[in-house]
Amino acid sequence: MALLPDRWGDSLLTAKQALWWRTMGRHWHFKKFARDGGKEWLKTALSRVRQDAGPGPLAILEFGCNAGNNLYTLRQDPATAAVTYCGVDINPKAIAFARTRFPSDSFHVGDHGWFIRHADALGSFNLFVASHILYYIDEKHTRLVLEAACRVADYILVVDRMERFFDNSPARTGLFFHAYASICNDIGLDVVEMEAMLAPGSPYGYFLARSVRSVNAQQEGLPATNVRSCAGLPLTTEPCP
């Protein structure tokens, strides 16, 4: 890889990671599906999103959803159970498992390219979630995924390695540690919360950002968009009744 131009190396590494998840990682959900672990970051993000969205079920779009592990966590807690949910993942076995567990929710098999091409058709959401997924995807495609997410969701929640959050120097480690501050700035995402570590010593952190469409809606005095998710509801971006 070191002999290839960076962009080729990055594309190859992204493809290699994707292949791993379709093959070696295809049964990962059997170990991880119901492992809750608190996930305070998810609840914190939801309560922040709730402040803008008002009453009514929040609609969530998750990219790299696996078998709906995060949805499982939300549904365990009565305070967060009432969400509508659309999940996308590259792994057909995880998606098949998710469909059996959550028959009323909506799931799609798709990789990052699929998501970039189809996000606009998925509906309109209060929150987009990408948890433990973007470090498998090169910067070019991570930007495109987040740009697509910004068009369809009011808030963006990313759980990832955050060590390069403020740093633009290149780092090629086998995974992609993204310079999120600059990516968010470039694509018009306003970071409202950032935690470098989910727990003391954890290599993972998260950030929550507001998309331009959410900031514009608030400036115009509109409530956050009412969400008609891909769970079979009509697609619309009309304000909440």
| Residues at the contact surface with ligand SAM, assessed by CB under 6 A | 17-18, 21, 25, 32, 64-66, 69-70, 89-91, 94, 111-112, 131-133, 136-137
Cβ at position 235, least distance to ligand SAM in Å: 22
Cβ at position 21, least distance to ligand SAM in Å: 4
Cβ at position 18, least distance to ligand SAM in Å: 4
Nearer to ligand SAM, 65 or 189 (CB): 65
d(CA 55, CA 27): 37
Consecutive H or E run containing 153: strand 153-161
Nearer to ligand SAM, 176 or 225 (CB): 176
Cβ at position 152, least distance to ligand SAM in Å: 16
d(CA 235, CA 45): 24
d(CA 125, CA 138): 25
- Residue 204 pairs in a beta bridge with 161
Nearer to ligand SAM, 36 or 238 (CB): 36
Strand 58-63 relative to strand 83-89: parallel, antiparallel, unpaired? Answer: parallel
Nearer to ligand SAM, 60 or 65 (CB): 65
Spatial contact of 68 and 105, defined as CB atoms under 8 Å apart: yes
